[in-house]
Amino acid sequence: MAKRLITESDIVEAARRGTRSISIDPQTVITPSAKDAALQYKIEFTTGVPAGGSSKSFEAVEISAPADSRNPNAATVIAIGCDHGGFQLKKVVKQYVHELGYTVADVGTTSEEACDYPDFAYAVASLVASGQAAKGIMIDAVGVASAIVANKVTGIRAVPCYSEFVARSSREHNDANVLTLGGRVLGSELAKSIVKTWLETWFGGGRHQTRVKKISDIEKKITGSK
């Protein structure tokens, strides 16, 4: 099972080829910058066959199950993404999350070729916010920039973590649902320890629930949502 991610660079490339429409399905993730670019280049998103020839095979959101499908965590989907600065660490983290028994939704990127972290941070946050993933992990060079992006998505509480203590606190006190890591500031073993702690720590509720609700109330006031 695969879902597509369409980014601004995909739209620019499609425009260069003269493509006037791009076929999508209900599961396609389109970043805000891609939507803006589509308006700029007058490219339409359609649910039919794209006009003007076949379009590029856009980067897919790849869903992969753990080796042991009987693991209790196998039914839980963790969205994982990175930019070029986090690519090497993402490979380590993705494998480790599988070892912990979780199903992974990998939104990319798939190489160390330069790309824009907002596209992938948004894709991770969108899967979590929509309920298609239980939690998300996004890795860039430092971890801060992606947290800023993810926290723009309604319902997301993203936190950059550099220690097990911060990871535990972010889950127990803040019910964080997106973890961001820095591929150029964390070693592989520390990153795995942080990921394990973050995934396995439960939200404490109680007085913390009241505070998290106040965060949601502020968000509703700003966005006008109910």
Q: What is the pLDDT of residues 139-191, one digit of tens each?
A: 999 999 999 999 999 999 999 999 999 999 999 999 999 999 999 999 999 99
Q: Is the pLDDT of residue 124 over 60?
A: yes
Do both 24 and 118 map to the same domain?
A: no
Q: Which amino acid is at 143?
A: G
Structural domain count, the chain: 2
At residue 52, the pLDDT reads 34
42 found inside a domain: yes
Do both 74 and 185 map to the same domain?
A: yes
Do both 20 and 111 map to the same domain?
A: no
214 found inside a domain: no
Most confidently modeled of 19-28, 52-61, 127-136, 179-188? 179-188
Do both 83 and 130 map to the same domain?
A: yes
Q: Which amino acid is at 158?
A: A
Share of the chain above pLDDT 70, in %: 92
Query: What are the helix (H) ranges across 61-187?
Result: 87-99, 117-129, 144-150, 164-172
Do both 64 and 31 map to the same domain?
A: no
Do both 76 and 184 map to the same domain?
A: yes
Do both 83 and 169 map to the same domain?
A: yes
d(CA 24, CA 4): 8
Q: Average pLDDT, whole number, for the chain? A: 88
Phi-psi region of 31 (alpha: psi -120 to 50; beta: other; left: phi over 0): beta
pLDDT band at 1 (very low <50, low <70, confident <90, very high): very low
Cis peptide upstream of residue 109 (ω within 30 degrees of 0): yes
Do both 70 and 176 map to the same domain?
A: yes
53 found inside a domain: no
At residue 27, the pLDDT reads 73
Q: What is the pLDDT of residues 93-119, one digit of tens each?
A: 999 999 999 999 999 999 999 999 999
> Which one of 84, 98, 173, 208 is the catalytic residue?
173
At residue 32, the pLDDT reads 82
Domain containing 141: what range?
A: 60-200
HSE, side-chain direction, 13 A CA sphere, residue 153:
26
Do both 96 and 145 map to the same domain?
A: yes
At residue 59, the pLDDT reads 53
75 found inside a domain: yes
Q: Which amino acid is at 193?
A: S
Do both 137 and 96 map to the same domain?
A: yes
Q: Is the pLDDT of residue 19 over 70?
A: yes
Residue 135 is part of a domain; what is its CATH number?
Answer: 3.40.1400.10
At residue 58, the pLDDT reads 37
Q: Annotated catalytic, 98?
A: no
Q: Is the pLDDT of residue 30 over 70?
A: yes
Of residues 12 and 197, more confidently modeled: 197
54 found inside a domain: no
Do both 34 and 6 map to the same domain?
A: yes
What separation in angstroms does the CA of 143 have from each of 98, 148, 182, 183? Answer: 21, 9, 4, 8
Q: Is the pLDDT of residue 220 over 50?
A: yes
Q: Is the pLDDT of residue 197 over 60?
A: yes
Read off φ and ψ for residue 139, nearest 5 degrees.
-125, 120
Q: What is the pLDDT of residues 41-92, one digit of tens each?
A: 888 887 643 333 333 333 568 888 888 888 999 989 999 999 999 999 999 9
Do both 32 and 101 map to the same domain?
A: no
